[in-house]
Amino acid sequence: MKSIDCYCCSGKTFDNCCRPILNGEGKASSAEQLMRSRYSAFATQKSDYLIETTHFSTRKNHSEEDLLDWSRTNKWIKLEVINATATTIEFKAFYEDELKTALIHHEFSIFKEEDKIWYYVDGRFM
Ligand SMILES: [Zn+2]
The residue ranges of every structural domain in the chain are 14-125
Q: Is 39 helix (H, G, I), strand (E, B) or coil?
A: helix
pTM attached to this predicted model: 0.96
Q: 121 CA to middle of ligand 1, Å?
A: 20
Give yes or no for residue 60 having a pLDDT over 80.
yes
**Quick one: average pLDDT of 66-76?**
96
The fold of 14-125 is Nuclear Transport Factor 2; Chain: A, (3.10.450)
Q: Which pLDDT does position 62 carry in this prediction? A: 94
Percent of the chain with pLDDT over 90: 97
User: Is the confidence at residue 95, as pLDDT, over 90?
Assistant: yes
- Measured in angstroms, how far is the CA atom of residue 30 from the centroid of ligand 1? 13
Say yes or no to pLDDT of 3 above 90: no
Q: What is the pLDDT of residue 1?
A: 59
Compute the residue count for the chain: 126
Cα(43)–Cα(102) distance, integer angstroms = 15
